[in-house]
């Protein structure tokens, strides 16, 4: 038997990879974790000459051990195709001494495409393998990017429906339009009068509702998740770190065995956790720099060992990182306890009941591969502007947080290790804030969203991506809105079972 999966809270064990993907969240509210982290079994020098798709297979086969070679290769081929605007899928750009790993060349121009292009295929394959014939209802909370990427992946996929909840005033104009113009009869979008944490907590609550589950089962539905709590999101995200290292090796930018640092603009802790998994698989990575915006709960955690969500939620110009409850941190906490599900469950209970927990000194030592940093909105904007003025390279506001944190980390630590910065969105997804960063308020005056897009293109010389052109004239198809307490009723209404 290959790798199995278990809940971080101990309530479920020995689940296959395909079942873990199908379920999304474990029944006890925990997250699925593999029974061990496998080592890469192909030398990096060999990976250096491989395509993205070939690399994806070499990484994912080690985790998704109950998928056949043909199944996995088929999922990979369907996911990483011409939906991406470059054959490299995740190209590296060198600017100002760092390597920007551009993860935004997929159909919705944010890094969520990297995993959400393949998740629908992994999930429908899992349903087939496990003889599941109920319709899969994907419930997703989004801080702006997951929702669109998940809908793009699941739109019109037979046997699936997708319902997305986003914070009404917490996303960019482009993000909102991208979601509300989504096509596909199986897609639904709901704006909630609350923030991302409210949306995520509400979705988790619906998952844990046993009565609703039974009611749905009777009507031929089962829930799953496209959020990064699904292990089917995490595994495809490991691939691009391995790929980036291999491509740096191929280009002669690093020597065999040379360690690199990785900086990741972080929200739900999924992307950086994937980088950590890559390190544990044997990728030569030294430090993982976790970059936060003004919602710096993770910075505080890595510097004090105390996780405290009881604080003001700040809406920033990097909205996909406006999060106070970083779900995937639970996986790291679990590992740091020596995979002690009971100890982890106790901490998570404290988080939900008291809003805070503290880890032990031993657990902190375990996490010493991580360094925390944060950047304010002003620092973010100044960094975007400086990089653009100095090099002509344009980054979005999330990547700007990472770049600002990196500059600070480098200065304070004196650590000159070569560094990959995860670039998580196209600057066009946040045109308004990016334009303001490089041209000041005058750059925005009298312009609507699409005039800003065009001005940004004229100024930067970067072509407007197809994903933005598509929404310029698209009709709005989704108008639902509800309060935080009404999410369950909204789901029932959408599914026609109320």
Ligand X SMILES: *Cc1c(COP(=O)(O)O)cnc(C)c1O
Interacting residues toward ligand X by CB under 6 A: 110-112, 145, 228, 265-271, 320-321, 398, 424-425
SS3 161: strand
Closest distance to ligand X from the beta carbon of 404 (Å): 14
| Complex with ligand X: residue 119 or 341, whichever CB lies closer | 119
Closest distance to ligand X from the beta carbon of 42 (Å): 26
| Complex with ligand X: residue 58 or 145, whichever CB lies closer | 145
Cα–Cα nearest to 136, from 13, 4, 270, 24: 24
| Complex with ligand X: residue 110 or 371, whichever CB lies closer | 110
Closest distance to ligand X from the beta carbon of 216 (Å): 27
| Complex with ligand X: residue 8 or 320, whichever CB lies closer | 320
Burial class (CB in 10 A: 0-12, 13-18, 19+), 417: middle
| Complex with ligand X: residue 71 or 102, whichever CB lies closer | 102
Q: In whole angstroms, what is the distance from residue 219 CA to residue 495 CA?
A: 9
Closest distance to ligand X from the beta carbon of 263 (Å): 12
Q: In whole angstroms, what is the distance from residue 257 CA to residue 284 CA?
A: 6
| Complex with ligand X: residue 145 or 490, whichever CB lies closer | 145
Closest distance to ligand X from the beta carbon of 328 (Å): 7
Please check whether residue 7 is in contact with residue 331, taking contact to mean a CB–CB distance below 8 angstroms.
no
Closest distance to ligand X from the beta carbon of 269 (Å): 5
Burial class (CB in 10 A: 0-12, 13-18, 19+), 54: middle
Closest distance to ligand X from the beta carbon of 81 (Å): 22
| Complex with ligand X: residue 83 or 222, whichever CB lies closer | 83
Closest distance to ligand X from the beta carbon of 437 (Å): 15
Please check whether residue 244 is in contact with residue 99, taking contact to mean a CB–CB distance below 8 angstroms.
yes
Q: Under the phi-then-psi rule, with left for phi > 0, alpha for psi from -120 to 50, and beta for the rest, what region is 326?
A: beta
Please check whether residue 266 is in contact with residue 292, taking contact to mean a CB–CB distance below 8 angstroms.
yes
| Complex with ligand X: residue 10 or 270, whichever CB lies closer | 270
The pair phi, psi for residue 92, each rounded to 5°, is -105, 140
Q: In whole angstroms, what is the distance from residue 135 CA to residue 223 CA?
A: 9
Closest distance to ligand X from the beta carbon of 68 (Å): 29
The radius of gyration of the chain's CA atoms, rounded to the nearest angstrom, is 21
| Complex with ligand X: residue 170 or 265, whichever CB lies closer | 265
* Per-residue burial over 322-361, b = 16 or more CB atoms within 10 Å of its CB, e = otherwise: bbbbbbbbbbbbbbbbeeebebbbebbeebeeeeebebee
Q: In whole angstroms, what is the distance from residue 472 CA to residue 181 CA?
A: 10
């Amino acid at each position: 038997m290959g790798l199995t999966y278990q809940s971080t809270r101990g309530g479920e064990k020995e689940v296959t990879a395909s079942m873990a993907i199908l379920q999304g969240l474990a029944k006890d509210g925990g997250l699925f974790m593999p029974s061990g982290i496998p080592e890469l079994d192909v030398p990096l020098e060999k990976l250096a000459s491989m395509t993205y798709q070939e690399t994806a297979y070499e990484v994912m086969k080690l985790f998704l051990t109950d998928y056949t070679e043909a199944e996995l290769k088929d999922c990979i081929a369907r996911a990483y195709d011409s939906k991406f605007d470059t054959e490299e899928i995740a190209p590296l750009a060198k600017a100002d001494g760092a390597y920007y790993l551009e993860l935004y060349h997929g159909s919705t121009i944010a890094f969520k495409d990297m995993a959400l292009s393949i998740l629908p295929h992994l999930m429908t394959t899992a349903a087939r393998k496990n003889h599941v014939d109920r319709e899969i209802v994907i419930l997703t909370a989004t801080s702006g990017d997951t929702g669109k990427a998940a809908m793009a992946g699941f739109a019109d996929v037979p046997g699936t429906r997708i319902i997305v909840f986003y914070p009404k005033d917490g996303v960019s104009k482009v993000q909102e339009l991208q979601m509300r113009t989504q096509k596909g009869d199986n897609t639904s979008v709901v704006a909630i009068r609350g923030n991302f944490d409210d949306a995520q907590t509400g979705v988790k609550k619906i998952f844990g509702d046993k009565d609703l589950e039974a009611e749905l089962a009777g009507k031929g539905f089962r829930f799953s998740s496209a959020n990064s709590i699904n292990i089917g999101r995490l595994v495809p995200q490991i691939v691009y770190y391995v790929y980036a290292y291999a491509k740096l090796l191929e280009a002669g930018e690093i020597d065999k065995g040379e360690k690199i640092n990785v900086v990741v603009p972080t929200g739900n802790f999924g992307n950086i956790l994937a980088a950590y998994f890559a390190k544990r698989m044997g990728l030569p990575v030294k430090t993982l720099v976790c970059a936060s915006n003004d919602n710096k709960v993770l910075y505080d955690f890595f510097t004090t060992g105390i996780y405290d969500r009881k604080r003001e939620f700040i809406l920033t110009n990097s909205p996909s990182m406006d999060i106070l409850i970083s779900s995937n941190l639970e996986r790291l906490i679990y590992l740091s306890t020596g995979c002690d599900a009971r100890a982890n469950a106790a901490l998570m209970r404290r988080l939900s009941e008291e809003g805070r927990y503290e880890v032990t000194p031993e657990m902190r030592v375990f996490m010493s591969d991580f360094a925390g940093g944060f950047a304010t909105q002003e620092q973010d904007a100044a960094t975007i502007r400086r990089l653009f003025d100095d090099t002509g390279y344009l980054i979005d506001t999330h990547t700007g947080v990472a770049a600002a944190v990196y500059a600070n980390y480098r200065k304070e630590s004196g650590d000159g290790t070569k560094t990959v910065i995860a670039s998580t969105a196209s600057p066009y997804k946040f045109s308004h804030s990016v334009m303001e960063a490089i041209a000041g308020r005058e750059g925005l005056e009298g312009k609507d969203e699409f005039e800003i897009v065009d001005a940004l293109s004229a100024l930067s010389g970067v072509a407007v991506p197809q994903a933005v052109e598509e929404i310029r004239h698209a009709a709005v198809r989704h108008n639902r809105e509800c309060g935080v307490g009404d999410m369950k009723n909204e789901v029932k209404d959408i599914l026609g079972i109320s």
